[in-house]
Structure 1
Amino acid sequence: MPKKKSTRKTILKIHKILGLTTGLVVFIVSITGCLWVFKEEIESFYDDHKYVAPQDQEFLVASKIKEQAEKIIPNRTIHGVVYGKQHEAIEVVFYEAEPQIFYQSVFLNPYSGEFIKRIDNDSGFFGFVLKGHLRLWLPDAIGSRVVSYSVLMFLIILVSGLVLWWPRNNKNWKQRLKFDWNTKTRWKRKNFDLHTVVGFYIMSFGLILAFTGCVMAFNWFYFIAYKAAGGDNDPRFVIPESEQVIASTTKSNYEYDRLIPILKNKYKDAHSFELHYPENDTTSILVEVSNSKGLYYNMDYLFFDQYTLEEIETPSIYGKYKNARFADKVIRMNYDIHIGAIGGIVGKIIAFLVSLICASLPVSGILLWYGKQYKNKKKPKGRLIKDFY
Structure 2
Amino acid sequence: MKLFAFSKKTGAIQPRKKKSNKSLFRRINDWLHLWLGLVTGIIVVFVSLTGCILAFEREIRNVTQPYQFVEPQQKPFLLPSQLERSAKLYVYGSDTAKANIYGFEYGDQHKAAVVAFLDPKDGYSMVYLNPYDGTPLAKKALNRDFFRIVLAGHFYLFLPAPIGQPIVAWSILIFVVILMSGLIMWWPKKWNKTNKEKSFKVKWKAGFKRVNYDLHNVLGFYVMLIALVLALTGLVWGFEWFANGSYFVTSGGKKLAKWEEPVSDTLTAQVAAPMTNVDKIYLESVQHYNNPTASIQVSYPNTPTDPITVSYNPDEGTYYKREYRFFDRNTLAALEGGGIYGQEYKKATAADKLYRMNYDIHVGAIGGLTGKIIAFFASFICGSLPITGFIIWYGKKKKKHKKAKANLDIKHPHSAGIK
**Same-fold call, TM cutoff 0.5:** yes
Q: Cα distance 1:129–1:280, how it changes in 2: closer, same or farther (>3 A)?
A: closer
**Aligned match of 1:162:** 183
**Structure 2 residue corresponding to 1:238, chosen from 250, 257, 260:** 260
Deviations 1:124-167 (A, max 9, x none): 43233223212223333332222221111111111111122112
* 8 Å Cα contact 2:247/2:256 also seen in 1: no
**Aligned match of 2:412:** none
**Structure 2 residue corresponding to 1:142, chosen from 149, 160, 163:** 163
Shift of 1:282: 2.8
**Structure 1 residue corresponding to 2:70, chosen from 46, 49, 52:** 52
* 8 Å Cα contact 2:260/2:339 also seen in 1: yes
**Worse-superposed segment, 67-76 or 334-343:** 67-76
**Aligned match of 1:198:** 219
- Name the CA distance, whole Å, in 1 between partners of 2:62 and 2:240: 33
- Name the CA distance, whole Å, in 2 between partners of 1:135 and 1:281: 32
**Structure 2 residue corresponding to 1:306, chosen from 329, 340, 352:** 329
Q: Cα distance 1:176–1:211, how it changes in 2: closer, same or farther (>3 A)?
A: farther
* 8 Å Cα contact 2:248/2:256 also seen in 1: no
Secondary structure at 1:273 match in 2 = strand
- The answer to whether 1:108 aligns with 2:129 is yes
- Name the CA distance, whole Å, in 1 between partners of 2:256 and 2:102: 23
Secondary structure at 2:326 match in 1 = strand
Q: Cα distance 1:274–1:11, how it changes in 2: closer, same or farther (>3 A)?
A: same
- Name the CA distance, whole Å, in 2 between partners of 1:141 and 1:313: 31
Q: Cα distance 1:10–1:108, how it changes in 2: closer, same or farther (>3 A)?
A: same
- The answer to whether 1:223 aligns with 2:237 is no
* 8 Å Cα contact 1:167/1:176 also seen in 2: no
Shift of 1:323: 2.5
**Structure 1 residue corresponding to 2:115, chosen from 88, 92, 98:** 92
**Aligned match of 2:416:** none
| TM-score normalised by L of structure 1 | 0.87
Letter matched to residue 158 of structure 1: L
Equivalent runs, 1:232-271 vs 2, <5 Å: 232=254, 234-242=256-264, 244-248=266-270, 250-251=271-272, 254-269=276-291, 270-271=293-294
* 8 Å Cα contact 2:55/2:363 also seen in 1: yes
- Name the CA distance, whole Å, in 1 between partners of 2:33 and 2:264: 53
**Aligned match of 1:27:** 45
Secondary structure at 1:52 match in 2 = coil
- Name the CA distance, whole Å, in 1 between partners of 2:361 and 2:204: 39
Letter matched to residue 184 of structure 2: V
Q: Cα distance 1:88–1:260, how it changes in 2: closer, same or farther (>3 A)?
A: same
Shift of 1:80: 2.9
* 8 Å Cα contact 2:259/2:337 also seen in 1: no
**Worse-superposed segment, 117-126 or 221-230:** 117-126
**Structure 2 residue corresponding to 1:83, chosen from 106, 115, 122:** 106
Secondary structure at 2:263 match in 1 = coil
- Name the CA distance, whole Å, in 2 between partners of 1:327 and 1:335: 14
Shift of 1:67: 4.3
- The answer to whether 1:282 aligns with 2:305 is yes
- Name the CA distance, whole Å, in 2 between partners of 1:319 and 1:90: 24
Which has the higher Rg, Structure 1 or Structure 2?
Answer: 2
- Name the CA distance, whole Å, in 2 between partners of 1:85 and 1:347: 24
**Worse-superposed segment, 217-226 or 185-194:** 185-194
Q: CA RMSD in A?
A: 2.7
**Structure 1 residue corresponding to 2:391, chosen from 367, 374, 388:** 367
**Structure 2 residue corresponding to 1:356, chosen from 377, 380, 387:** 380
Q: Cα distance 1:53–1:346, how it changes in 2: closer, same or farther (>3 A)?
A: closer
Q: Give the gaps of 5 or more residues in structure 2.
A: 1-19, 404-419
* 8 Å Cα contact 1:93/1:105 also seen in 2: yes
* 8 Å Cα contact 2:202/2:215 also seen in 1: no
Shift of 1:265: 2.3
* 8 Å Cα contact 2:264/2:306 also seen in 1: yes
* 8 Å Cα contact 2:298/2:308 also seen in 1: yes
**Worse-superposed segment, 237-246 or 151-160:** 237-246
* 8 Å Cα contact 1:256/1:309 also seen in 2: no
* 8 Å Cα contact 2:203/2:214 also seen in 1: no
Secondary structure at 2:315 match in 1 = coil
Shift of 1:199: 0.4
Q: Cα distance 1:223–1:78, how it changes in 2: closer, same or farther (>3 A)?
A: farther
**Aligned match of 1:39:** 57
Q: Percent identity?
A: 40
Secondary structure at 2:339 match in 1 = coil
Shift of 1:4: 6.8
